[in-house]
């Protein structure tokens, strides 16, 4: 069964727009779990424009499911993750000012750096995942770093789904086969939605987890959070 991890960054964005504590990030995360999500994802950035470092520390003691922290492995990020000890850390190559993740790692160019970072997290017992494009050479090099999983960056699939879903999924299906050959677990995320999720999950061998935030929160405005999470779970595993 593919697990659904709900990225709650957009909830924090809404809270921060007015100050105060509404909506309450911790309560929404607990509701997501109560409504069936198997994980919660956060991506604290240096400017704390959505998830704050304090949110990460507030969430860890109360979550029952999997806690996944995404981010660029700066020293401050590494220290925070090694203090919090989530179930999983997902490393992304975002520079500090980027609006949203827009590329996977050049693992070939950063093999030494990523190997050192992955080893530091694994010494703490934290499962590691590298955010990566569906490229066979990058996936094979990812295995060299010692990472446990990769997270496939799915923006190109989402962009191409409406016009030619067979063509859009092809590089991801091929990438998944390479990951399985290399002994890597497979996660996926970015622009996955109720429209394109089922086809993606049915055509990606070995898919363990998807992380979905923006589309899910947008759907929840119209459909309600509980109903939306159930709809996403149905798309994943029906």
Alpha helix positions (H), 93-224 = 111-123, 136-145, 155-160, 165-181, 197-202, 214-223
> What element of type H or E holds 108?
none
CA atoms within 13 A on the CB side of 79: 4
Is 70 assigned a catalytic role? yes
User: Which listed residue (33, 50, 66, 70) is catalytic?
Assistant: 70
Nearest of 216, 210, 221, 175 to residue 195 by alpha carbon = 216
Using only the alpha carbons of the chain, give its radius of gyration.
17
Catalytic residue among 33, 43, 66, 151: 43
Burial of residue 136 (number of CB atoms within 10 Å: 0-12, 13-18, 19+): middle
Sign of the torsion formed by the C-alpha atoms of 111, 114, 116 and 122:
negative
Indicate the helix (H) or strand (E) that contains 151: strand 149-153
Catalytic residue among 66, 151, 190, 209: 190
43 is catalytic: yes
Which residues are catalytically annotated? 43, 70, 190
């Amino acid at each position: 069964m593919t697990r659904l991890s709900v990225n709650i960054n957009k909830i924090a964005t809404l809270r921060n727009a007015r100050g105060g504590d509404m909506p309450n990030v911790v309560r929404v995360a607990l509701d997501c779990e109560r409504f069936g999500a198997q994980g919660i994802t956060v991506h604290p950035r240096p400017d704390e424009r959505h998830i704050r470092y304090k949110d990460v520390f507030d969430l860890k003691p109360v979550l029952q499911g999997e806690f996944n922290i995404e981010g660029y492995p700066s020293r401050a990020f590494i220290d925070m993750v090694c203090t919090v000890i989530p179930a999983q850390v997902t490393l992304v190559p975002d520079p500090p000012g980027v609006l949203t993740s827009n590329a996977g790692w050049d693992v070939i160019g950063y093999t030494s750096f990523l190997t050192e970072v992955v080893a530091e997290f694994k010494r703490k017992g934290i499962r590691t995942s590298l955010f990566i494009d569906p490229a066979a050479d990058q996936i094979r090099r990812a295995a060299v770093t010692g990472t446990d999983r990769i997270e496939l960056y799915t923006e190109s699939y989402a962009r191409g789904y409406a016009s030619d879903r067979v063509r859009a999924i092809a590089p991801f299906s091929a990438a998944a086969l390479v990951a399985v050959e290399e002994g890597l677990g497979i996660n996926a995320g970015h622009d996955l939605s109720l429209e394109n999720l089922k086809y993606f999950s049915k055509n990606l061998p070995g898919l363990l987890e998807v992380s979905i935030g923006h589309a899910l929160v947008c759907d929840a405005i119209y459909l309600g959070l509980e109903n939306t999470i159930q709809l996403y779970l149905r798309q994943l595993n029906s």
